[in-house]
A and B are shown apart, each in its own frame.
Chain A
Amino acid sequence: MAEPTDSELVLGLRAADGAAFDALYARYRPALFSFLVRLTGRRWLAEDLLQETWLRLARNAVELPPDTALRPWLFTVARNVFVSYRRWAVLDADRLRELGLWPGQRSETPFELAAATETERALEAGLAALPVTQREVLLLCAVERMEPSEAAKVLGLEPEAVRKRLSRARGMLAEHLARQERTRS
């Protein structure tokens, strides 16, 4: 049997159909979780934010407009819960490090620890070292392969601004990788 499309699942959600919710949950859970782990750098926090994302979908399911694009909707909510978390976590070590107020070394992310190859590990480390604004655009456009217009909806930006930010983020990541390469050789 063919998999239901996202539009069919939206109609199911509007009718509070549990099976539609389960199908969506299976379809998008790994992608959302990976996005949140790479955004936060912490597994436990990503689990909490993932839960909040799905609870928000459940709370809003019956009121979703029939033409809702579910993938950007879910990533927008996931990003928003992360932004809310950061707003409250003013003393978060990563944030203080970004502001240059934390002298400690960045700890390795779960993806860095689980990386199968050296290249993968270097990429994960490079991603984790980027500022959040650059990291999120790379995660959406390069890792999740969203179009800039789709990513623009998630980030609340114009597509042109996303393209510029993406280009800057790629440059920063390439620079970081080159620096790591030089250190190794």
Chain B
Amino acid sequence: MSTEDDLASRLGALPSADVPGDVAARIQGRARVVLGREARLAKRPGLRRASRLYDGTVEPTLVAAACFVYLWWAFDATMAIFR
């Protein structure tokens, strides 16, 4: 057996790990909720598109805009102290 084959077989024999039972159940539960929501949305394509648009574009934009406004206000208020 060559060194390369030997290395490959040793790597292939490395043990695998798993998440603890409670973590596995939590992840599965959350994913099943999402799957259920997607199943409901699949029956209404318009609503599904709107939901994707909200999750992917509208919500991140609103969050970024809120952060920007807050930082601007904080900067302006700090500058006002030294004016």
Chain A residues packing against B (C-beta within 8 Å): 16, 18, 21-22, 25, 29-31, 33-34, 37, 47, 50-51, 54-55, 57-59, 61-62, 110-111, 114, 116, 119-120, 123-124, 127, 138, 142-143, 145, 170, 173-174, 177
Are B42 and A16 in touch, CB under 8 angstroms?
yes
Query: Given A34-B16, A47-B19, A110-B17 in contact, is the A16-B11 Cβ separation under 8 Å?
Result: no
Query: What residues on B are CB-neighbors of A138 within 8 Å?
Result: 11
**Is chain A's binding surface mostly helix, strand, loop or mixed?**
helix
Are B31 and A21 in touch, CB under 8 angstroms?
yes
**Is chain B's binding surface mostly helix, strand, loop or mixed?**
helix
Chain B residues packing against A (C-beta within 8 Å): 3-4, 7-8, 10-12, 14-19, 23-24, 26-28, 30-32, 34-36, 38-39, 42
Are B12 and A145 in touch, CB under 8 angstroms?
yes
CA distance A113 to B16 in the complex (A): 14
Min CB–CB distance A19 → chain B (angstroms):
11
- The one of B4, B8, B18, B35 in contact with A30, judged by C-beta atoms closer than 8 angstroms, is B18
For B52, the closest partner residue in chain A by CB is A59
